[in-house]
Amino acid sequence: MKKLFTILTFTFLTSVSVHAQWVFPKLPVLCFGDIVLSTQNDVDNCQCETIYGSLIIGIPAGQTGGSNITNLSRLDQLSYVSNNVQIRRNPLLRGVYGLHNLKTIGNELEVYDNKYLQSIWYLYRLSSVNNLHIERNASLTSLWGLQWLTQVDYVEIRNNSRLINLVGLNNLHTITWTLKVRDNSNLNDLTGLENLTALNELWIRNNYFLQHLNGLQGLTDIEYLWIENNASLLSLDGLDNLANVQENWVHDNSQLADCCIPAGLQGLLGLRNNAYGCNSSAQIRAACSSTRQNITVKNDTKQSGEQNGLSKAILSRENQFQVFPNPTSADVTVTIPQANSGNIIVRDILGKIVYETSFDEYYQQNISLKPHGTGIFLIQATVNGQQLTRRVIVQ
């Protein structure tokens, strides 16, 4: 009888246990306040599934140093953060596996100063965020992982030296306020923004190897447009469908000579320090069809023969700034026949200065690029106050 009682008791307890598991499912782990994970041990011990506050992975703003975090795999239960997610100063982190269940960020996603971070692919379920800030990630080559974002308030892509395009933002159609693409030294084009149709402000600034604006063809509405100091920019191709712009500033793009402004940019246009062809209303009218001539140019005060003569002189110097051979396997010869004074700066593909000199008269010099590796180099000459640029390929 005692044996039978024991068996019945075990059966009953087992049944109650199974039933209890079915009646009382596991509740999500809620975390309140800001969660700071500055070490790998912090990451491994984090059990949050929902955070009402901010999540900081790495070193908070205002503090120095870097974390020892190498992977985020123990964060795979996290799905919601009500405020900010900051991935900051993690010099050993190469990817974001572990954030692949994160769907909603209430305010800002900041990926900042992660030297060897190569990919953000495992953010691929993220579909809601207000602000996006990707800056100073020296090894990041792609924005794949952000493809579920369709509308945000603010985007800044800045100083990511190996980023060559913006592929990964392909489904983004509206930026409520501002898009800034700045200081990305290897950015070739804006591919990835094809579905973007509206935003308030657009900044394209200090992208050394950006040659055109293709990728912005779907853009129809901008209030304020700045295109500044893009040393390799050759044309404004990509802005063809703009229909509503209030004010535009296009300046200090030393190779920008093809400056036919689309009809949508008719209005205030600030032009200065571009190549010949993009410094006056007369030059624009010469490049555009008769239907695109009603343009008021701001800061275009010299429309006389003196201005035309100066522009022709600039064009002459542009033609006489010679760099050969190109491509090269070692040295290049730089020649500037007509110059009173100036300087030469050579930058590598990351924007780092590898050679610099100044001169007071006729200039011809052999420059050895082989010690700095293969790839693309940017040779910038400032001649009598005018900046001229050439790209050289070292094989």
Same domain (yes/no): 339, 279: no
Same domain (yes/no): 145, 174: no
pLDDT of residue 27: 59
- Cα separation of 222 and 174, whole Å? 11
- Among 53, 55, 102, 110, CA closest to 79: 102
pLDDT of residue 347: 83
Looking at residue 378, its amino acid is L
Whether 4 is covered by a domain: the verdict is no
Same domain (yes/no): 193, 298: yes
Position 369 pLDDT exceeds 90 = no
Whether 300 is covered by a domain: the verdict is yes
Same domain (yes/no): 187, 250: yes
**pTM to 2 decimals?**
0.72
CATH number at residue 263: 3.80.10
**Chain-centre distance of CA 346, in angstroms?**
22
Domain hosting residue 313, numbered range: 150-158+167-319
- Cα separation of 385 and 256, whole Å? 17
Question: Prior bond to 28 cis, omega within 30?
Answer: no
pLDDT in tens, 280-320: 777 776 666 433 444 555 554 343 333 444 344 443 444 45
Same domain (yes/no): 141, 173: no
Whether 273 is covered by a domain: the verdict is yes
pLDDT in tens, 336-345: 766 567 788 8
Position 358 pLDDT exceeds 50 = yes
